[in-house]
Structure 1
Amino acid sequence: MDAVFAALGPRERYQRIQFFVLLAPYLDCTLHVVSFIFIGISIPHKCAVVPYSSLRKAKGTLSGSASKNFHTNLSVTYGACDIKVFNQSEKIYESACVNGYDYAAPKERSFVSEWDLVCDKSALPEVSQTVLVSGMMIGALLFGFLLDMFGRRPLFVVCHVLYFGVAIVTALMPNYASFVCMRFLQGALQQGIGLSSTIMLLELIPTERRALAIQASSLVWPIGLLVQVYVCYLCKDLSWRYIQLVLAGISCYSLIQFRFVEESIRWLSANNKHEEAEKLIEKAAEANGVDPDTALQLYREEQKKLLPNSQDEVKILRNEKSDDNCQGELMPRESLVVSDKVCDPQGDETETTCYPLDTAGEMKFSAFFKNRNIFIITAIVVYTWFSDNFAYVGLIRLSPFLVNDIYLGFVLGFLVEIAAAIVFIILPNQ
């Protein structure tokens, strides 16, 4: 397929439009992954003042004599999470914040203060981020299969529109439980967008230049962080719900994005949708102002190489012990269809393993467990994904505390991200 893209012109108008349309969602994905730092900002607080009549000792109400001399003999200290009553120097009563909390800023400034997620509930804001990462994990597993099944473009468009909708609905949630559910959906859909856009970018670019797609995306992420801190700084005196709506509004272009993004030609080819692939090649050639005949001829020749012209071209030695597997010698190919079986090259590409078409997906998935090398590589990648995400979120969460200003701390985190992106751009090319 690289020859087809070379004939279309790797840097022409069609590829540039697709490249930027597919890169744009990386910005959206950034905004909501770390938005909890700003919409869940911790606001200084203390227990709300409680009427004296409501104060209770562990064994009953305060004595009548103490009641009469309340202002002279007793003192009440309102802490962040408790109320203490002293009779001169002796503590005679201690209680939780029975009357709620008083915050140094309006309660609606943060979902933490609005729902009183402090003191014994102080872990819940962090739990919401853990739930989001869990959604990302589920989304990565789910959408990885769906992308191969239904195509890149449908999943990309649907996930992006739903991501926009869920981001808006998140701002309207009445309680913490519903808010956490929306965060889970955001995490899952974020992976649907990220996986589909990354795969489409990789399949759009010739093999020798594929690193460009990941390098470019590594720059968009820190730019998204910078956009987020700027937007949140401008909205710092508004309710967290308004901040969430503003961040969600940045994704509004998802409603018209379907008009510009095209299906992956490689996916169409791999799924025998050759007529659609050829129409897309013609469309790309027209947009680039090149002759489509050359690209179409190369595409058709490429398809002929993937399929045998006759039974004499491929010799298959069936395994007598199993009807589902066979090994033989063949010309190096990506994948062959022989009768009712699919054959994938193994090892040095001189042998192949064949299995029925209706169980092809199952056999390919089982390779993760049957093939030792694939299993080890997969396990390492999964472990790296988990450790990287949790470490990254932890560092992002701590960055505002490096300095007294949360926004300045976030900018420092952005500078570190940019430096890392530059290193990532340089190293793969060495």
Structure 2
Amino acid sequence: MDPCANVDRIWRRLGRFGRYQVVQLLITLVTIWSAAFSLMSSVFTGHKPVVQCAPIENSTYLNTSDVTRNVRVEYKECGVVIYRNVTNGTTLRQEIPCPAGYQYDIPRDRSLVTEFDLVCDDGSLAEVSQMLTMAGMGLGAVLSSVISDRYGRKVVQVGAHIGIFLAGLGVAFAPNYTVLIILRFISGALQQALAVVGAVIAMEWVPEESRFICEVLGLLFWTTGVVLVTPIAYLMRDNTWREFQIALTLCSSYSLIQYWIQDESVRWLLMNGKTKEAEQILRRAAKWNKVNFDDVISTDAVHANSLDTISRELEGTEMSKEHIQEVGHVENSGSVKSHRDDNGFTVERYSVISIFRNKYILKNSVIMWFTWLTDSLTYFGLTLTATTLAGNRFLNYFLSGAVEYVACFLEYNMMKRIGRRSITIIFHATSAIALLIATLVHSFGGVESSMTTTSLVFTLIGKMAITGSFSTIFLFTPELYPTNLRQNVGIGMSSAFARLGGMLSPFAGTLAKQASWAPAAIFTCMCFLVTVAVTNLPETRGVELPSTIGELEEWHKKQTTKKKTNA
């Protein structure tokens, strides 16, 4: 089998969504529920109830050498105030931290916050737990990307899924806070490995014109996972947080058989010279889809199509078809390494240094890194604080998740008509405007119920728009990179920057207590900046994924020439 085969053409000949591809996509997409459950469980397991000091039963705190017939105790959230009337008629006031511990408006075993007393002076530890989860996600994004680009998508996705299952059970039986945050850090790393590798492998199962459908399906499955957390939490509201954690974790139990039912990415196998494995998978796919394998894999037709496709993309440039055949056979440097496989095909190996050696990749990377940071900070900032909004916490979280279905609908219809760049701009502008209005209404609209409802509606619109943007850049970002940089630099590094935003997001609620307008104002400004910055990126709609830096450079040159011509 020719390693230069046009994989998009192969999928078209097999049927864009043949039975084989549908099964492989479902195996990948269902793992998104595990990723959603792992991350969003903390919204309910880490619920912060109403707290105040427990009644003082030990009289030691009340006895003095004075007459103590008239002693009055005032219980506050994080301390008690003791008033003593002494013999000369003077009232003494003493305030001390809760000497008898805390009492809550829910049983202690309903939340990890109440079980470990993560309130008052230790209140920030709840946010630290979520922050470390996000930090783990950043580490997982970087490591999983490097490993999956070198050793394959399948081994990372299956391994991460099994790891989430085991770590989730570990969290449920954590004996103390220290063990809990260690396991949450590990879960975060595994969750991100599962998510980012799953996004790439799903995109690589279909031809270019169908990639947006996979991205919308990914958002649909993610949204469903986010929404499903609510009814499970509501039905188990009288159970302990540990039992709730176990229930969500058991949804990942099928990971134990996933290795035997999921195949490796054909595109990755071919780009890494593993033609025999790729051919075995494609033979199986042809059998499942009931098409003739020889027609699917015809080397002359497929390779010729590959050359014609690239030639059409480069029409108007000085590159010849003979030169196109040589794309990818570049000189060794500190950033590009290559080796020949058994068939004599040159496989390029890039490193992170490649970002700084190519101006196109560097520009794209900087813009996308800030975009991912903005989307993560805004999305998780709005999601994690949903239960603190006025009203029922289950309903608020459900609505916050349900608006993401609107994003699915809008994203699908826009991707059929306009490009990724335009969609990203529209979603960010919408989110910025909606959150700005919500902030102004909340700050100056008073406490009337109509103003509160208006602020909530615009907050949900902002959440919907940032969800659509977050989903779009999962598709847009890898399309800006060649194959062997697509995972570790494209998705991996971008996701690592997103985790910086995620690490800050748990503190949005803390900031809101000091200045209620501040979090949304920050989200608004960052979304406006992204709206402007993304205009400098190339459009990727209708363009075959670049395999090498050479192809990427020629693509950028073509777009630059087209812009100058239109100007």
Contact 1:335 1:342 in 2 (8 A): no
Query: Alpha-carbon deviations, 1:285-310, whole Å to 9, x = none?
Result: 1111111111232489539979xxxx
Tell me the distance in 2 between the aligned counterparts of 1:84 and 1:134.
40
Tell me the distance in 2 between the aligned counterparts of 1:362 and 1:278.
22
- Which residue identity does 1:24 align to in structure 2? V
| Ranges in structure 1 where 5+ consecutive residues have no aligned partner | 57-61, 307-327, 344-352
Tell me the distance in 2 between the aligned counterparts of 1:158 and 1:216.
23
Q: Which residue of 1 aligns with 2:15?
A: 9
- Which residue identity does 1:332 align to in structure 2? I
Query: Alpha-carbon deviations, 1:342-375, whole Å to 9, x = none?
Result: 69xxxxxxxxx986549x8775432211222311
Could you tell me the TM-score, scaled by structure 1's length? 0.84
Change beyond 3 A, Cα 1:300–1:78: same
**How many Å apart are 1:330 and its aligned residue?**
5.4
Tell me the distance in 1 between the aligned counterparts of 2:336 and 2:79.
70
Change beyond 3 A, Cα 1:117–1:303: farther
Tell me the distance in 2 between the aligned counterparts of 1:335 and 1:15.
29
Tell me the distance in 1 between the aligned counterparts of 2:321 and 2:293.
36
Matches within 5 A, 1:80-95: 80-88=77-85, 90-95=91-96
**How many Å apart are 1:177 and its aligned residue?**
1.5
Q: Which residue of 2 aligns with 1:99?
A: 100
Change beyond 3 A, Cα 1:289–1:194: same
User: Secondary structure at 1:261's aligned position in 2?
Assistant: coil
| Ranges in structure 2 where 5+ consecutive residues have no aligned partner | 1-6, 308-319, 341-346, 418-567
Change beyond 3 A, Cα 1:249–1:51: same
Query: Alpha-carbon deviations, 1:85-131, whole Å to 9, x = none?
Result: 11258342211012211222211110000000000111111111111
1:374 aligned onto 2:361: yes
Q: Percent identity, aligned pairs only?
A: 29
Question: Of Structure 1 and Structure 2, which has the larger fraction of its residues in helix?
Answer: 2
Contact 2:227 2:402 in 1 (8 A): no
- Which residue identity does 1:243 align to in structure 2? F
Change beyond 3 A, Cα 1:220–1:329: closer
Tell me the distance in 1 between the aligned counterparts of 2:406 and 2:297.
42
Computing the radius of gyration over CA atoms, which structure comes out larger, 1 or 2? 1
Candidates 25, 50, 67, aligned match of 2:31:
25
- Which residue identity does 1:82 align to in structure 2? G
Question: Of Structure 1 and Structure 2, which has the larger fraction of its residues in strand?
Answer: 1
Q: Which residue of 2 aligns with 1:204?
A: 205
**How many Å apart are 1:422 and its aligned residue?**
1.7
User: Secondary structure at 1:108's aligned position in 2?
Assistant: helix
**How many Å apart are 1:335 and its aligned residue?**
4.5
Query: Alpha-carbon deviations, 1:213-237, whole Å to 9, x = none?
Result: 1111111111112211010101001
Q: Which residue of 1 aligns with 2:424?
A: none
Tell me the distance in 2 between the aligned counterparts of 1:77 and 1:396.
36
Change beyond 3 A, Cα 1:361–1:163: farther
Q: Which residue of 2 aligns with 1:398?
A: 385
Tell me the distance in 1 between the aligned counterparts of 2:106 and 2:326.
62
Contact 1:152 1:264 in 2 (8 A): yes
Q: Which residue of 1 aligns with 2:323?
A: 331
Candidates 40, 43, 49, aligned match of 2:46:
40
Could you tell me the TM-score, scaled by structure 2's length? 0.64
Contact 2:17 2:206 in 1 (8 A): no
Q: Point out the more displaced range, 152-161 or 3-12.
A: 3-12
Tell me the distance in 2 between the aligned counterparts of 1:303 and 1:167.
49
Q: Point out the more displaced range, 367-376 or 182-191.
A: 367-376
User: Secondary structure at 1:199's aligned position in 2?
Assistant: helix
Query: Alpha-carbon deviations, 1:64-94, whole Å to 9, x = none?
Result: 233xxx3x31111122210111125834221
Contact 1:107 1:114 in 2 (8 A): yes
Change beyond 3 A, Cα 1:285–1:334: farther
- Which residue identity does 2:54 align to in structure 1? A
**How many Å apart are 1:329 and its aligned residue?**
10
Tell me the distance in 2 between the aligned counterparts of 1:299 and 1:117.
66
Matched residues, number = 389
Contact 1:34 1:393 in 2 (8 A): no
User: Secondary structure at 1:144's aligned position in 2?
Assistant: helix
Change beyond 3 A, Cα 1:300–1:248: farther
Q: Which residue of 1 aligns with 2:495?
A: none
User: Secondary structure at 1:331's aligned position in 2?
Assistant: helix
- Which residue identity does 2:323 align to in structure 1? M
Contact 1:41 1:112 in 2 (8 A): yes
Contact 2:138 2:189 in 1 (8 A): yes
Change beyond 3 A, Cα 1:201–1:342: farther
User: Secondary structure at 1:332's aligned position in 2?
Assistant: helix
Matches within 5 A, 1:24-423: 24-55=30-61, 62-66=63-67, 70=68, 72-88=69-85, 90-298=91-299, 302=303, 331-333=323-325, 335-337=327-329, 357=339, 363-423=350-410
Higher relative contact order (CA 8 A, sep 6+): 2
User: Secondary structure at 2:109's aligned position in 1?
Assistant: helix
Change beyond 3 A, Cα 1:107–1:22: same
